[in-house]
Amino acid sequence: MTALRALAKPTFLRTAWPWRAVGYLISTAPVGLLATLVFGTVALPWVIAADRLIRHGVELSGSQFALLVISGTVLLATVAPVSGVILAAVERFRLRLIDDRPLPGLPPPAPGEWWRWLRDRYTDAATWRAVVYGFALGSLVPLVYFVLGIALLVEIALLFSPFIVTAGDPITMGRAPVDTPAEALPYALLGLVLLPAVPYLLGLVAGAHGALARVLLSGADEQARRRLAEVVSSRARLVDGFSAERRRIERDLHDGAQQRLVSLTLQLGVARLDLPPDSPAAHSVGVAHDQAKQLMAELRELIRGIHPQVLTDSGLAAAVGELADRSTVPVTVAIDLPERPPEQVESTAYFVVAEALGNVAKHSDARAVRVSATRAGRTLVIEITDDGQGGADPARGSGLTGLADRVAAVGGTTRLSSPPGGPTLLRAELPWR
């Protein structure tokens, strides 16, 4: 949460965000004053040169211009980077008042590496972004805060206008003179109406200042994390799209091709009954009938491999139970879930079990397998244990790499313990949400 995001909440005035914004704005005053002194000194030679050349139209002599350029360059190369690093550290600390997201700082220097650390700062883009922020804090930010101060003074004048008139001479509100407290009362009511907008104004200014600080002070790590978050989001969208496409293909095969193949099998069976048993035509139709039934069984297995209907209809426990019934190795299933996990997580868990049972049947020489699934907090934990020969190695192409990739696609992790001689334990942890 940030101050800018908190402004959109209907409970903004009842939270601590207005006071956090006030704290940030007040603490800006001493920091901004120091930044103005330091970075104003750095910019002073350039300001003098620009003032003489542009505003007054006075040409500088060659020596004067060279002196200003040299002094400005020396200050920019010596004072600005060090001041920018210090300012960035202070602002990262202050930013916590209006931005709950952490903003990592620069790595500390190693013992005895101070000079190398300082030298690296000159080639670090984050240092020069901090310098830019220092110049903004010493020039642009005071202007915004000045406008904010004028707005607050106007609000105070509106609220206390009856008391001001009573205590002193008549005042002028805009172009209208106000001589008595009665004449000032409408302005006080206007100030009272505008009073709830003051916290929003403070939050807006503080949030905008914090957003500027985050943009300029975020280092390469912050940008890398942002790009990583974008990659994770795009990967999640691709996984969801792929799963939806799998389900569409499963439905098309189940409702289309499989139904037509069933109809063809029935027609061949009827035709076989109508022909003499010993005729060549009956033999040919019988062969076609058997091939159609075999093709229907293969198509059913293909559909189950794409996305089993029992998983959609009855959930993970029933789908894993069906896998156990078809397994060539005896499988014990222990699935205890309080509710069905999300569709993508449930589908991933099913295919993890299916791939693991396939590997057990092909490579382990196991006599028994146990499959368990439980929920631990926000994690779905799946464990497949067998008493086989062990020695499972993803590098040998046993399907474990693809299984781990499938789990990682939904943000999960995979762990494998398979010492030579067994037993083998495969553990997959999937985020519940």
For 336-390, the DSSP string reads: E-SSPPPHHHHHHHHHHHHHHHHHIIIII--S-EEEEEEEETTEEEEEEEE-S--
- Both 172 and 28 in one domain: the answer is yes
User: What was the pLDDT predicted at 253?
Assistant: 60
Cα separation, 95 vs 102, in Å, equals 9
Q: What is the mean pLDDT of each run of 10 residues along the chain (433 residues)?
A: 84 88 89 83 71 58 65 71 80 85 67 68 76 84 90 87 71 70 82 89 90 77 58 58 58 63 73 74 74 69 62 80 83 84 82 83 82 86 85 69 77 83 85 79
Question: Which residues, including other chains, have CB under 8 Å from residue 90's CB and lie 6 or more apart?
Answer: 31
CATH of the domain at 392: 3.30.565.10
Last residue of a domain, one of 306, 329, 354: 306
In this structure, is residue 396 part of a structural domain? yes
Whether the ω angle into residue 423 lies within 30 degrees of 0, i.e. cis, is: yes
Enclosing domain of residue 393:
309-431
Alpha carbon distance, N-terminus to C-terminus of the chain: 20
Per-residue model confidence (pLDDT) at position 4: 83
Task: Please say which residue of 306, 334, 361 terminates a domain.
Answer: 306
Tokens 């620009």 correspond to what residue?
Answer: 50
Residues 379 and 350 in one domain: yes
Of 300, 309, 299, 311, whose CA–CA distance to 352 is shortest?
A: 311
Last residue of a domain, one of 306, 337, 358: 306
Q: Indicate whether 225 belongs to any domain.
A: no
Instruction: Give yes or no: residues 30 and 167 share one domain.
Output: yes
Question: Is 202 contained in some domain?
Answer: yes
Same domain, 286 and 262: yes
Residue 321 lies in a domain: yes
| Residue 242 near residue 299, CB atoms below 8 Å | no
* 194 and 110 both lie in a single domain: yes
Domain annotation covers residue 139:
yes
Same domain, 284 and 400: no
Kindly state the greatest CA–CA separation across the chain: 125
In a domain, 230, yes or no: no
Question: Exposure of 153 by Cβ count < 10 A (0-12 exposed, 13-18 middle, 19+ buried)?
Answer: exposed
Determine, yes or no, domain membership for 224.
Answer: no
Collapsing DSSP to helix, strand or coil, 101 comes out as: coil
User: How many distinct structural domains can be found in the chain?
Assistant: 3
For residue 226, being part of any structural domain is answered with: no
What's the CA gap between 57 and 14, in Å, rounded? 56
Same domain, 278 and 394: no
Q: What is the pLDDT of residue 366?
A: 81
Same domain as 137, residue 36: yes
Residue 292 and residue 163 in one domain? no
pLDDT at 65: 62
- Both 206 and 102 in one domain: the answer is yes
- Examine the domain organization and report whether 26 and 112 are in the same domain: yes
pLDDT score of 271: 78
Instruction: Give pLDDT, residue 321.
Output: 85
Do 77 and 203 belong together in one domain? yes
User: Which positions ≥6 away from 318 have C-beta within 8 Å?
Assistant: 310, 311
Q: Looking at residue 339, what is its pLDDT?
A: 84
Q: Across the strands, what pairs with 431?
A: 379
